[in-house]
Amino acid sequence: MLIHTFHKSRRHRNSALWLMMSLPILCLLHPQQAGAQQHLIRFEKYQLPNGLTVILHRDTTVPVVAVTMMYHVGSKNETPGLTGFAHFFEHLMFEGSEYIPRKSFEKYITNAGGSYNANTTQDRTFFYEVLPSNQLALGLWLESERLLHLKIDSIGVNTQREVVKEEKRLRVDNQPYGTIFIEVLKRAFSGPYHWSPIGSMDDINRAQLGQFLQFYHTYYVPNNAILSIAGNIEIDSTKKLIQAYFGSIPKGKTPIPRPDPNEPPLTHEIKDTIYDHIQLPAVIEAYRMPKETSPEYYAAQVLATALSGGPSSRLNTVVKDQKQLAVAVASIPYFNEDAGLLINYAIANMHVNPDSLQQAMDQEVHKLTTQLLPEKEFEKIMNQIQTDVVSSNSTMLGIAESLADYQMFFGDANLINQQLQKYQQVTREEVLQVAKKYLRPDNRVVLYYLPISQKQAAGE
């Protein structure tokens, strides 16, 4: 029941191709481990007549099962004046159903020895239970009940309203640098990515029961969801259970609204100063990036790795280590369904002027836009990415979520097995092109976070 500030990097996926290519060599080196390299994620995918997409992955080495539901609705489906609504609704999904009394949804899961949570991004809302594998049916019952029979009333709305507001205070308002994401979005986008999933206090106060019911009937329908299950399951019996619990849920009656995917580009650099309760200034440079399905996505990930992947990366080596201008640096790719960002940020070392910090960051970014990555560095980045991709998908929950994610936003769950292949197609020239195209001053938002004590000095 939280907000994903940043999407998990989609880089951490497996690749069948790489495994096939590397297998013969490894067989020679470690003949006794030949089978160990084959970690293809096998899955089955189908659709129920009511439009619910189902993905099943079987792994018998663990005594658990992850049951997940991903709904194609996030904060970008909200209307201005009701920001924070999708996330608020996520909380209400735990309120109970016709057969699940209030406050007992979670109990069923923990009583069964399971764990659960949910989160809301700008694009989608995700719910999951990880259960001992003999409790699969429980997970299906719970998820189907709240899709079919959710019961919400003003008591639940008002309780969750306070909880959501407290979540905002905890994660955003009372957290040093907690508003970075909100302030960046506000300036980087003018369409529905303009606000973050947490929304505003006023809007949270405004949300009414009737609006929630309408939201539920519009977006929480089987044809807007993916049920993705991974773990120690038997495929045929699982399918029968799914049919029994989800088959009779009616398809949505109204068309599902999709916000305009065309986010106008930035035309000039937007620069601003935010005063926060912090001691150390921070510099944030957020560059507008293409949407996640763009072919340029993989090159953009390489750029982020060049900047901050590992201690030998450029921002870490130059800005943090050699020049000692920062205590922390990061380059965070934030890719969404309709648009993306590359957010570079640095927290200044003590007594470091943010201008000189920004200058040092800009120098590193500038190099990426003017020179090819040296071959050795490119190879290093590819090695780092290989480790991430190969060692990812190590948990049932992670696999279930990735499969759903690739299916929902790329239309192809099997991309989980093709990530390394995609990266291996990236060339140094393409990385340079992508850097040139996007890492431009007129395509970015620059924010200085300064201690509020400097506000007076600045004469404001």
Partner 1 sequence: MQKISVLLLFILLNGITAFAQIDRSHPPAAGPAPEIHIGTPDTFTLDNGLKVFVVENHKLPWVTATLILDHPPVREGEKAGYVSMAGQMLRTGTLDMNKQQLDDTIDFLGGNIRTSSSSATAFSLSKNFPALFAIFSDIVLHPSFDTTELEKLRKQTLSSLAQQKDNPNAILSHVTDALTYGKQHPYGEIETEQTVSHINRDDLVQYYQTYWRPNTGYLAFVGDITPQQAREVTQKYLAHWQPAPVPHPIYPFPEQPKQLTVAIVNRPTAVQSNIAFANPIDLKPGDMRNFPAMIMNEILGGGSNSRLFMDLRETHGYTYGAYSSLSNDPYVGIFRASTAVRTEVTDSAISRLLADLQDMRTKPVTEDELTRFRNALSGSFARSLENPSIIAQFAINIERYHMPRDYYQHYLQYLAQVNAEQVQKAAEQFIQPDHAYVIVVGNAKQFADKLKAFGKLEYYSVYADPVTPDTTTQAPQGISATDVINHYLTAIGGKEKLQQVKSFSQVAEGEIQGQQVRLTEWHLQDQHYMQELSLPSSGMVITKITMNKDSIRMQQMGQQVALTPQMKQQIQQNAKWCPELTLLNQADKLTLTTATDENGKQVYAIQYTQPNGTITYQYDPQTGLKLHEIHQVQLNDRTLTSVYDFSDYRQVKGLQLPYEISTSMGPQRVTFHVTQIQINEGLNESDFL
Tokens of 416: 């989980």
Tokens 């003999």 sit at which residue?
134
Tell me: does residue 390 bind partner 1 (CB under 8 A). Answer: yes
CB of 18 to partner 1, least distance (A): 11
Tell me: does residue 301 bind partner 1 (CB under 8 A). Answer: no
Q: Footprint of partner 1 on residues 129-148 (CB under 8 A)?
A: 130-138, 140-142, 145
Site string for partner 1, 24-53 (x = CB under 8 A): --x--xx-xx-xxx-x--------------
Helix (H/G/I), strand (E/B), else coil: 395:
coil
Which residue blocks in 126-272 are alpha helix, DSSP H? 136-148, 154-168, 180-188, 201-206, 209-219, 235-246
Distance CA 383, CA 18 (A): 12
CB of 192 to partner 1, least distance (A): 26
Tokens of 343: 């957010």
Site string for partner 1, 415-454 (x = CB under 8 A): ------------------------------------xxx-
Stretch that binds partner 1, among 44-52, 54-62, 203-211, 263-271 (CB under 8 A): 54-62
Q: Tally DSSP H helices, then E strands, for the chain.
A: 17, 12
Tell me: does residue 310 bind partner 1 (CB under 8 A). Answer: yes
Tell me: does residue 356 bind partner 1 (CB under 8 A). Answer: no
Tokens of 279: 């001691």
Q: Footprint of partner 1 on residues 270-289 (CB under 8 A)?
A: 277-280
Tell me: does residue 208 bind partner 1 (CB under 8 A). Answer: no
Determine contact, residues 288/341, Cβ cutoff 8 Å: yes
Please identify which residue in 8, 107, 251, 366 interacts with partner 1, judged by CB under 8 A.
107
Q: Footprint of partner 1 on residues 239-268 (CB under 8 A)?
A: 240-241, 243-245
**How far does CA 223 lie from the centroid of its chain?**
22
Q: How many residues form the binding site for partner 1 (CB under 8 A)?
A: 102
Tell me: does residue 357 bind partner 1 (CB under 8 A). Answer: no
> What are the strands of the beta sheet with 270-276, ordered from one edge?
270-276, 444-451, 282-289, 340-348, 326-335
Tell me: does residue 169 bind partner 1 (CB under 8 A). Answer: yes
Determine contact, residues 420/393, Cβ cutoff 8 Å: no
Please identify which residue in 273, 395, 414, 418 interacts with partner 1, judged by CB under 8 A.
395
Tell me: does residue 396 bind partner 1 (CB under 8 A). Answer: yes
Tell me: does residue 347 bind partner 1 (CB under 8 A). Answer: yes
Terminal Cα-to-Cα distance of the chain (whole angstroms): 38
Distance CA 389, CA 382 (A): 10
CB of 347 to partner 1, least distance (A): 7
Stretch that binds partner 1, among 112-120, 214-222, 264-272, 442-450 (CB under 8 A): 112-120
Angle at 146 between CA 85 and CA 393, to 5 degrees: 85
If the CB atoms of residues 158 and 356 are measured against partner 1, the closer one turns out to be: 158
Tell me: does residue 456 bind partner 1 (CB under 8 A). Answer: yes
Can you spell out the DSSP letters for 287-310?
EEE--TTSTTHHHHHHHHHHHHSS
